[in-house]
Amino acid sequence: MEDYHKPDQQTLQALRNIANRLRINSIKATTAAGSGHPTSCCSVAEIMSVLFFHTMKYRPEDPRNINNDRFILSKGHAAPILYAVWAENGFMKESELLNLRKVDSILEGHPVPKQQFVDVATGSLGQGLGAACGMAYTGKYFDKSSYRVYCLLGDGEMSEGSVWEAMAFASYYQLDNLVAILDINRLAQSDPAPLQHHMEKYQRRCEAFGWNAIVVDGHSVEELCKALSQARHQPTAIIAKTIKGKGIPVAEDKMGWHGKPLPKDIADGVIKDLQSRILNSSKRLYPSMPSEDAPPVSLRNVRMPSAPSYKTGEKVATRKAYGMALAKLGRYNERVVALDGDTKNSTFSEIFKNEHPNRYVECYIAEQNMVSVAVGCATRDRNVVFASTFATFFTRAYDQLRMAAISESNINLCGSHCGVSIGEDGPSQMGLEDLAMFRAIPTATVFYPSDGVSTEKAVELAANTKGLCFIRTSRPENAILYNNNEDFHVGQAKVVHKSNDDHVTVIGAGVTLHEALTAAEMLKKERINIRVIDPFTIKPLDSKTIIEHARATRGRIITVEDHYYEGGYLHAVTTLSKIRCKKCIINVYS
């Protein structure tokens, strides 16, 4: 990076003026809304001023330009000051800030991607840095571009383990294009943060995780300019000592003001005082333009180059079929990337890694961070992202998954070793809650393939389906059921066994579909005919096909599943209003 040139006095004063205007607009917006976090905004005013009007390179009229530097407000409750920034740089009207938190305004209480200047939703604390890691990794290794990534965190969220997972990830991969700014304002919501203003402790912790850590006065625009301009050979943490509620005398460094707007009479007095601190300056600051060096990317029509090539009756585990399908998809689509959490030799994502080592990201045993990194990699439509681990281990990243949905993220998750069918490993390794978990996410599509052919089709469909996609794969090897030319669609079930006189409709998926087909042959010898359906996707469920065949079997349905009773496809079937299950059986493997 170029040598640091100290800004002239006019520039420094202009940055101070902007900081106070950001304070004023944050107070105006939260007072008008009757809710919000003005004190959390006021502690970062100088940080936001320096970042957006001195350090970052971006086009203010085009917030999602692929060449822009990225910014993530991990302490999402300080959203009003982010909105104030985008009013300050002319992207939106200042009057719009007074619509903060109104039901018909896009300016929600925490950042969401319906705002063009927001890439990932934040507010559930401790997740922003992981997403920033995904963006920085993409910038350095996939895009090989000069854009940088800046993430602003609060000291309260530094207690979240996911933050330190991200710190370890960034250091290991030498993300020297990543800067974390820590707003150390001492006070959390109900108590002081555990380290309060012990800046040296924050610095030692960051350094222990392999970061370049710089302590600054977070209200000194000059110190911030200098720290943010330093040459970097590793990820950098700017540890900024700030005062919560800075500029609001009644609230400065005082407990009891978190999340509380100022009453109008107090707000008017504070605003008048802040306005008096804005000194005349003829200098107008504009963001620097970014370099135009990010490669154009198209993620449309990410397809397999050919049909599956399995042999009927051949036995293959769907987890292995996933790895083979992913490698195949990556062979002809250079923006397909794969992440895993140290389970690649079990999920078979190692097949992708062996073929495409430069597009594989090992996230190690840090599932929360893995999901956040996936979300970051997928922002601005830069990559088609697949992330895999045992199905059961996604439960520890559920908050990241639900925030990914709020982020409108298009990421694909594969959970292997589902259900009790994994056998001897025991219940700690069994995914028995995963269908319930992903079915509850509004944007999720849930695939449950039953053989190699349907698994390959699921991978291809997931790559082209908006929202979160979850592919549930099994450990046991099972026979190929489908012809290689079989057509599969999201929300379309397959009737795999039927006669003209079936007594009951049986629904199974994965290993239980194969058990149902075995049962069908056994029962046939006793002159009992059953109809067997493979749902393929549990969400959306093919209600039309299920209702049609339920009627044909006089309303009798049995679901056979490898999942807990709650939230599996029994529950999905019984929510269909036009049918009633007479009896539902959960199959448990011993």
Same domain flag for 146 and 206: yes
Assigned domain for 306 exists: no
Taking a C-beta distance cutoff of 8 angstroms, is the pair 177, 140 a contact?
yes
Same domain flag for 97 and 123: yes
Assigned domain for 2 exists: no
pLDDT tens digits for 537-553? Answer: 999 999 999 999 999 99
pTM, rounded to two decimals: 0.96
- Helix axis angle for 398-406 and 367-378, nearest 10°, is 20
Same domain flag for 213 and 356: no
Q: How far is CA 311 from CA 226, 316, 480, 483, in A?
A: 64, 10, 7, 8
Residue % of the chain over a pLDDT of 70? 97
What pLDDT does 577 receive? 52
Residue % of the chain over a pLDDT of 90? 92
Same domain flag for 467 and 505: no
Same domain flag for 425 and 538: no
Assigned domain for 215 exists: yes
Assigned domain for 240 exists: yes
Assigned domain for 283 exists: no
Residue 386 has pLDDT above 90, yes or no: yes
CATH of the domain at 461: 3.40.50.970
* Final residue before a domain boundary, out of 277, 299, 326: 277
Residue 331 has pLDDT above 80, yes or no: yes
Assigned domain for 15 exists: yes
- State both tokens at 173: 């991969």
Distance CA 562, CA 566 (A): 11
Taking a C-beta distance cutoff of 8 angstroms, is the pair 468, 405 a contact?
yes
Assigned domain for 299 exists: no
Domain membership of residue 524 as a residue range: 494-575
Residue 121 has pLDDT above 50, yes or no: yes
Counting the structural domains of the chain, the total is 3
Same domain flag for 235 and 154: yes
Same domain flag for 499 and 378: no
Assigned domain for 282 exists: no
What pLDDT does 387 receive? 99
Residue 95 has pLDDT above 80, yes or no: yes
What pLDDT does 231 receive? 77
Concatenated DSSP letters of 124-144? STT-HHHHHHHHHHIIIIIS-
Same domain flag for 447 and 507: no
Residue 351 has pLDDT above 50, yes or no: yes
* Final residue before a domain boundary, out of 424, 456, 480: 480
What pLDDT does 581 receive? 52
What pLDDT does 312 receive? 86
What pLDDT does 443 receive? 96
Same domain flag for 256 and 403: no
pLDDT tens digits for 445-498? Answer: 999 999 999 999 999 999 999 999 999 999 999 999 999 999 999 999 999 999
Same domain flag for 333 and 476: yes
Under 8 Å CB-to-CB from 180, ≥6 apart: which residues?
A: 129, 132, 150, 151, 152, 153, 167, 211, 235, 236, 237, 238
Average pLDDT value for the chain: 95
Q: Which residues belong to the active site? A: 367
What pLDDT does 1 receive? 44
* Final residue before a domain boundary, out of 417, 446, 480: 480
CATH of the domain at 518: 3.40.50.920
Same domain flag for 365 and 430: yes
pLDDT tens digits for 263-298? Answer: 999 999 999 999 999 998 778 899 999 999 999 999
The count of C-alpha atoms lying within 13 angstroms of the C-alpha of 173, restricted to the half-sphere facing its C-beta, is 27
E strands, 54-102, in order = 70-73
pLDDT tens digits for 573-586? Answer: 887 755 555 444 44
Residue 261 phi/psi, 5-degree rounding, is -75, 160
Same domain flag for 503 and 475: no
What pLDDT does 7 receive? 95
